[in-house]
Chains A and B, each alone.
Chain A
């Protein structure tokens, strides 16, 4: 066995892969949240739909997103494999157990499995439909001078070759953009209270998973230091377990209650 395989298949190496992929997925959560904040813009989805085109056509983003999907799957199944191996380390359990560790830290695999189910639902709700289904198109007419945007849904059955058709009318001083109306799909999907509840509850799973996971990744990397560990723990709790899941959960709630 090469030294690298030996390292990565050791108990510490296995956890190193979990930590590194986990931290990558944490950065993804930040980027994904910032991008999706455009859903809150009151522009009929103009910014969000253009952003969706950018995210699915810009080559670098495309590469990163496929790397991201691969790492999500790796993190999920490698985690389940480690959990399975860890269970084998105690074939006979105790009759009585009084736990002195946090309930989240002991149930990372269950929380992760909930998140995997969530991701399948989430990807088929939006990603799959955006890529594979005949979504309605929407036309935005922007007055370049004033920045006013007029939103007109295209007739049903309208389709176009490229994801985005942009035309300028110099005489009228307008820019016309026709794109798939993913914003409308999001808005419509979140009228379903069951889906909204599922999304919000899944964000609790994200919160609990990261409450333990973020600081645990640093511990696995060996980054424990009296000066910096409090900062890592603070970030893990307040940013990754509170702020980010709250931001995500706000989206389905916003559409359900205000749209």
Chain B
């Protein structure tokens, strides 16, 4: 296969970037999208040109590092997969593919396709955790958790924090991410002690980072590689508004 690429090139956060055109020959349909970039980068290095910077780590679809906005969709056209799990057989020989970084005021571009997603880390640090009770592990099934609750919490916990929801949202809103992180703990007994402060603090941090508000368009859930449900956003709204009304802090 021959693939024509238009890739966003940007030196650093301070400079402005532009789309540059590349041609990649001898692309195997079995290559992943990232492997296609590896081939291109090796060629660029051999030609003494600067390779394209992009984020990647596990290449198994579970780390949430890869972050390419491919032909107008985060992680490309295939549903329920990350960029690393997107294979070139999804495209046709001779296709032109436009690759851009996540676009959000809260995710500044570091270089080319690499954006700074530490805003998510700061949101997690503001409340997306359970204060650990050290000591011996208690017996399994000591804590009774309904199967339905466990399943919902598990589905929310599937979020890998890649930021595709922010990239897809017309408002660059982080609501799907924050709602998944709040939900996975709000649904389980371990999350109860910090339930109210978690919702309040994580929403406050989300707003402080400069993400937009939710318009309930549903683009986030449609593009999420882990298919996190919009029900989580409704739950976050409940958790946040409920905590605002009932929490003891005046």
Q: Which residues of A contact B (CB under 8 A)?
A: 3, 6-7, 10-16, 82, 85-102, 105-106, 108, 212, 215-216, 219-224
Contact = CB atoms under 8 A, between A and B. Distances in A.
Contacts of B218: 100-102, 105
A3 B244 contact: yes
Contacts of B100: 94-96
Interface in B209-229: 210-219, 222-223
Nearest to B204: A10
B249 A16 contact: no
Contacts of B223: 100
Contacts of B212: 11, 85-90
Interface of B: 6, 19, 69, 71-73, 77, 98, 100, 103-106, 168, 170-173, 175, 203-204, 206-207, 210-219, 222-223, 230-231, 233-242, 244-245, 247, 249-250
A173 B145 CA distance: 77
Nearest to B206: A11
A224 B235 contact: yes
A94 B234 CA distance: 28
A219 B98 contact: no
A81 B198 CA distance: 28
A222 B237 contact: yes
A89 B241 contact: no
A10 B219 CA distance: 22
A11 B69 contact: no
Given A96-B72, A98-B72, A16 B241 contact: yes
A92 B10 CA distance: 13
A216 B106 contact: no
B103 A90 contact: yes
B213 A85 contact: yes
A219 B237 contact: yes
24 contacts: A3-B244, A3-B249, A7-B245, A10-B207, A11-B173, A12-B214, A12-B237, A13-B244, A86-B213, A87-B171, A89-B104, A90-B104, A90-B170, A90-B172, A91-B105, A94-B69, A98-B71, A99-B219, A105-B217, A105-B218, A222-B234, A222-B236, A222-B242, A223-B234
A105 B170 CA distance: 10
Given A11-B214, A12-B240, A101 B222 contact: yes
Given A89-B105, A94-B103, A106-B217, A224 B172 contact: no
B222 A89 contact: no
Nearest to A216: B216
B219 A100 contact: yes
Contacts of B238: 222
A222 B150 CA distance: 20
Given A7-B244, A94-B103, A100-B168, A219 B211 contact: no
Contacts of B234: 219, 222-224
Give the 6 A-B CB pairs with smallest separation, nearest first: A224-B234, A222-B238, A98-B72, A89-B212, A101-B217, A86-B171
A78 to B, nearest CB: 11
B210 A220 contact: no
Contacts of A224: 230-231, 234-235
B222 A220 contact: no
Contact of A14 (B211, B213, B222, B236): B213
Given A10-B207, A90-B104, A99-B219, A15 B214 contact: yes
A217 to B, nearest CB: 9
Contact of B216 (A3, A14, A97, A105): A105
A220 B217 CA distance: 12
Contacts of B231: 224
Contacts of A82: 213
Given A94-B100, A100-B73, A100-B219, 9 more contacts: A3-B244, A10-B204, A85-B213, A90-B170, A90-B212, A95-B100, A105-B217, A219-B237, A224-B234
Contacts of B206: 11
B219 A15 contact: no
A96 B247 CA distance: 44
Contacts of A7: 241, 244-245
A97 B70 CA distance: 9
A93 B17 CA distance: 12
A205 B213 CA distance: 23
B213 A93 contact: no
Contacts of B69: 94
The listed residue with most A CB atoms (<10 A of its CB), out of B73, B172, B215, B247, is B215
Contacts of B106: 89
